[in-house]
Amino acid sequence: MGPGQWRRARVVAGLAALLALVSLYPDPVPNAGPRVGSLLETFQPWLPLAVLPLAVAALWRRSALALGACALPGAAWLIAHGGTLLVDENAPYDLTALQHNVSDVNPDPAGTARKLAEAKPDLIALEEVTPAALPAYREVLSPTHPHIAVEGTVSLWSRHPLTDIRPVDIRPKDVPRDWRRGLRATAHTPKGEIAVYVAHLPSVRMSPSSGFGTARRDESARYLGRAIEAEETDRVLLMGDLNSTVADRGLSPVTSQLHAPAGALAFSWPASLPLARIDQILARNAKIAHIRALDRTGSDHLPVLARVRF
């Protein structure tokens, strides 16, 4: 290999090493302005795929150094997410919880409800439940989940009694007052009381001018984080469409207080080609022992089912 080729191989190797580092530790990427840091964290499991053009360049240069470096992003992925390959699906658990954004344009709410009931969860959290669709969910879910809390377009359905049901104000300041997407209830389970929160944070938008638009979602996450911080019940379960992954620093007011399944994938959005899990089930003083995505319903999200261990 000549000096020129050696230098070019070093560039490819350096870029591969940098990609591996960012795949593991995206924190140094700045989040000011277009929120590049949040964008990378949202799609963090997919970042190692960016090594493919580098691998092609390494083959073209016939560089063993560059080819070896191209293995680093794969190793980074295994470090971050390889634990999902070793999950014990038979590990003990105390409760099952199901989270689903059912879509406000779902053409078959009753069919969606039947699919969710088949999983036999103890708790079901739903978002984007319209007033027109609510009776269909009541008809299907009430026989098995008779304890119900509804606030705006979010709802909680439980096998166990619910008390102290109240709204949680997570509305961004520039959003109309009829925007109601948060609730809190106490679930009285055989294992004791749990404060259950259901939340639907604002959507994010991509635009050439502003980049990854997360301002409203981040504001809503701060309000939700304050509510959880003030919660007096020891055990807390948060279920909802948080419109990002647990790695996204924009959700840190919430995720810094709660346990998430380490390295779990269970992609839930979009349903046609799932790329990220933006539907979350998180806990305080409890462990999310296992989480997985379920089969598609009439929504643009997939349901996710978690096993909770106290």
Percentage of residues in the chain with pLDDT exceeding 90?
A: 64
pTM for the whole thing? 0.88
In the chain, where do the E strands start and end? 95-101, 123-127, 147-151, 154-158, 162-167, 182-189, 192-200, 205-207, 211-213, 236-241, 279-284, 287-293, 304-309
**Quick one: which of 46, 47, 33, 37 has its CA closest to 207?**
33
- Indicate if 140 and 209 belong to the same structural domain: yes
- Indicate if 204 and 279 belong to the same structural domain: yes
Q: How many domains are contained in the chain?
A: 2
- Indicate if 103 and 80 belong to the same structural domain: no
- Indicate if 118 and 20 belong to the same structural domain: no
What is the distance between the alpha carbons of residues 112 and 152, in angstroms, rounded to a whole number?
19
- Indicate if 112 and 78 belong to the same structural domain: no
Instruction: Tell me: pLDDT of 30 over 90.
Output: no
What is the distance between the alpha carbons of residues 153 and 265, in angstroms, rounded to a whole number?
26
- Indicate if 70 and 137 belong to the same structural domain: no
Check residues 64 and 269 and name the one with the higher pLDDT.
269
- Indicate if 43 and 139 belong to the same structural domain: no
Instruction: Tell me: pLDDT of 263 over 80.
Output: no
- Indicate if 171 and 75 belong to the same structural domain: no
SS (H, E, C) 66-96: HHHHCCHHHHHHHHHHHHHHHCCCCCCCCEE
Domain boundary among 66, 86, 106: 86
Name the residue range of residue 67's domain: 3-86
Q: Which amino acid does the sequence have at 128? A: E
Domain boundary among 42, 61, 86: 86
Instruction: Tell me: pLDDT of 135 over 90.
Output: yes
Residues in contact with 25: Cβ distance below 8 Å, sequence separation at least 6, in sequence order: none
Out of 15-19, 26-30, 57-61, 291-295, the most confident range is 291-295
Check residues 33 and 10 and name the one with the higher pLDDT.
10
- Indicate if 299 and 253 belong to the same structural domain: yes
- What is residue 184's three-state secondary structure? strand
- Indicate if 79 and 131 belong to the same structural domain: no
Stretch 11-26: mean pLDDT, rounded?
Answer: 86
- Indicate if 22 and 71 belong to the same structural domain: yes
* CATH of residue 180: 3.60.10.10
The pLDDT of residue 91 is 78
Check residues 46 and 131 and name the one with the higher pLDDT.
131
- Indicate if 240 and 260 belong to the same structural domain: yes
Check residues 113 and 41 and name the one with the higher pLDDT.
113
Burial 58-77 (b: 16+ CB within 10 A, else e): beebebebbbebbebbeebb
What is the distance between the alpha carbons of residues 18 and 32, in angstroms, rounded to a whole number?
21
Domain boundary among 44, 69, 86: 86
